[in-house]
Structure 1
Amino acid sequence: MMENIITIRNIYKIYNEGDSEVRALNGISMDVDKGEFVAIVGQSGSGKSTLMNTLGCLDVPTAGEYLLDGENVEDLSEDELSEVRNRKIGFIFQGFNLVPGLTALENVELPLSYRRIPREERRELAEDALQRVGLGRRMRHRPGQMSGGQQQRVAIARAIAARPPIILADEPTGNLDTKSGSAVMEILHGLHQEGKTILLITHDEAIARQAQRRITIRDGVIVP
């Protein structure tokens, strides 16, 4: 029997409550098993990014229940939420969000330093992550000296360096050419084979078909 790592029940995210309210999420319920590869699909404005932010503990729902690896997120303080994010979730975004003045290695090390991981261990984790995404020879390069595909691989290395069990990828191939996009998907498949839980947000049908399961969201609700 598979074990849920994510359980959400009747999640609402409502902006401007009252007459002009917008229901970005409108009573969503879903489960994700440990080690599953799930694509969350929807057009722009469907609510998929709001759902991603909620699942990633970047945003708090207006109502509903969210259990992350058995822990009720609603009960956590800001500091505890931050700790859960750091420990359990690796984020990959469409915009690579790298610091231009830092090398690839320094970019990957940065979030590890926030976690107060000792310098030597930090360096080891960052180097290992960059090797795993095929950038062992580019560690000293800055983002401006790299292609878009290489920058996204640095971003993936940053997401996986602390070895979190969950990877949330928001349109990770959105800014890339086909070849670079395929390389990114290959890395995600490799992480999945290692037992990571992958949640991939995309509007690209070809990318969504590569997941084990797809969840389609429209106007803040999951549709068949």
Structure 2
Amino acid sequence: MQKLIEIKNIFKIYNTGYAKVYALSDVSLNINRGDFTAIIGKSGSGKSTLMNILGCLDVPTSGKYFLDGEEVSELSERKLSYIRNKVIGFIFQSFNLVPTMTALENVELPLIYRKTEKKKRHTLAVSALEMVGLSERMNHRPFELSGGQQQRVAIARAIATEPPLILADEPTGNLDAGSSDEIMRILSELHNSGKTVVIITHDNSIAAMADKRIEISDGRII
């Protein structure tokens, strides 16, 4: 299969002033287009640092990251912004919804940044919310939704731009078992529709639902 993500000998080092902290140490991995991959590790293992690098939200201290064949360090800020907005859909543990906006308005937000025409962005946002089973909750604000429903809004926002790659950082971390199962079902359906899905998790039962598992400890893949 075609490689979508290729990381070679990545280090991420923080200088605290007293000592160097190795968040990632000599990490190499490949994720193929269409994979459903879980990156699992305990708190402080380096998995979120790795996710930030995969999402072009942070840069490694050394090593190379190729996304769809392009070396990320050589891309312009304009191209990186395009990737973050169009190529990658982000799902975070904390939902990151705007509290004063309805579910529909939250999902439309990245489409506004893309300058998508109003009628088209409404259609895309409605379709994304229908896909996650929230067609009857579109006009509700986050405080009127359960945690599981808020995470489904976040997923709808992530997929409204129709990105080929979904990065989910602890997407079930704040949810009960029933809501977690529903989120994983939606992510599995996205994978079955052709998306490449990468999940960061500390939960073995969540990681077991992916097709591929990468374990990280103390900044190293084990």
Structure 2 length normalisation: TM-score?
0.98
In structure 1, runs of 5+ residues without a counterpart are none
AA partner of residue 128 (structure 2): A
**Alpha-carbon distance in structure 1 between the residues aligned to 2:69 and 2:165:** 14
**Alpha-carbon distance in structure 1 between the residues aligned to 2:17 and 2:143:** 46
| Alpha-carbon distance, 1:17 to partner | 7.5
**Alpha-carbon distance in structure 2 between the residues aligned to 1:102 and 1:193:** 31
State the secondary structure of the residue aligned to 2:27.
strand
In structure 2, runs of 5+ residues without a counterpart are none
Matched, 1:110 2:109: yes
1:54-133 equivalences in 2 (<5 Å): 54-133=53-132
AA partner of residue 75 (structure 2): L
**Alpha-carbon distance in structure 1 between the residues aligned to 2:208 and 2:169:** 16
| Alpha-carbon distance, 1:82 to partner | 1.1
Q: Which residue of 1 aligns with 2:159?
A: 160
Give CA deviations for 1:160-208 in whole Å, capped at 9, x if unaligned: 0011000000000000011011000000000000010010000001000
Q: Which residue of 2 aligns with 1:16?
A: 15
Give CA deviations for 1:137-177 in whole Å, capped at 9, x if unaligned: 11000001110010000000000001100000000000001
**Alpha-carbon distance in structure 2 between the residues aligned to 1:151 and 1:4:** 32
Structure 1 length normalisation: TM-score?
0.97
State the secondary structure of the residue aligned to 2:175.
coil
Q: Which residue of 1 aligns with 2:220?
A: 221
**Alpha-carbon distance in structure 1 between the residues aligned to 2:185 and 2:121:** 25
**Alpha-carbon distance in structure 1 between the residues aligned to 2:18 and 2:171:** 36
| Alpha-carbon distance, 1:90 to partner | 0.3
1:140-159 equivalences in 2 (<5 Å): 140-159=139-158
State the secondary structure of the residue aligned to 2:8.
strand
User: Where in structure 1 do 4 or more consecutive aligned residues deviate above 4 Å?
Assistant: none
User: In percent, how many aligned pairs have the same letter?
Assistant: 62
Q: Which residue of 2 aligns with 1:207?
A: 206
| Alpha-carbon distance, 1:19 to partner | 5.8
| Alpha-carbon distance, 1:87 to partner | 1.5
| Alpha-carbon distance, 1:77 to partner | 2.2
State the secondary structure of the residue aligned to 2:153.
helix
AA partner of residue 104 (structure 1): A
RMSD: 1.0
